[in-house]
Amino acid sequence: EAGVVQSPRYKIIEKKQPVAFWCNPISGHNTLYWYRQNLGQGPELLIRYENEEAVDDSQLPKDRFSAERLKGVDSTLKIQPAELGDSAVYLCASSLGPGGYTFGSGTRLTVV
């Protein structure tokens, strides 16, 4: 089993530029999450998908963040425009239900 695959691993961009992260969850996992993790802190949920439906996006800053999971498998998280405070690790996770969370290695975003 390949696990949750994320790309890119690292991204450095200038502020006000757009950036996108990609996630491929574990096969068969209908639930997909995007988290943001700041240094030394626990992950914070941004959005949760059940198949292709975003069932919890209450923590997603919708003025600049967007996400999609068109076919209920892969997902993309986008930031446009990026701000300095967006620098963090963006984690994707998938699960079959509570407790089955498997995380990817994350994308470390640095906004300069």
Does a cis peptide bond (omega within 30 degrees of 0) precede residue 8? Answer: yes
Residue 89 corresponds to which amino acid?
V
Degrees to nearest 5, angle at CA 33 with 15 and 31: 155
Q: Which range of residues in 13-21, 63-71, 74-82, 100-108 is near another protein by CB under 8 A?
A: 100-108
Q: Which range of residues in 14-22, 60-68, 70-78, 91-99 is near another protein by CB under 8 A?
A: 91-99
Cβ atoms of 7 and 22 within 8 Å: the answer is: yes
Of positions 15, 16, 18, 44, contacts another protein by CB under 8 A: 44
Q: Considering the complex, state which of residue 29 and residue 64 has its C-beta at the smaller distance from another protein.
A: 29
Is 46 a binding residue for another protein by CB under 8 A? The answer is no
How far apart CA 101 and CA 39 sit, in angstroms, is 21
Is 85 a binding residue for another protein by CB under 8 A? The answer is no
For residue 84, what is the DSSP state?
A: G
Which residues form the interface with another protein (CB under 8 A)? Answer: 4, 31, 40-45, 48, 56, 91, 93, 95, 97-99, 101-106
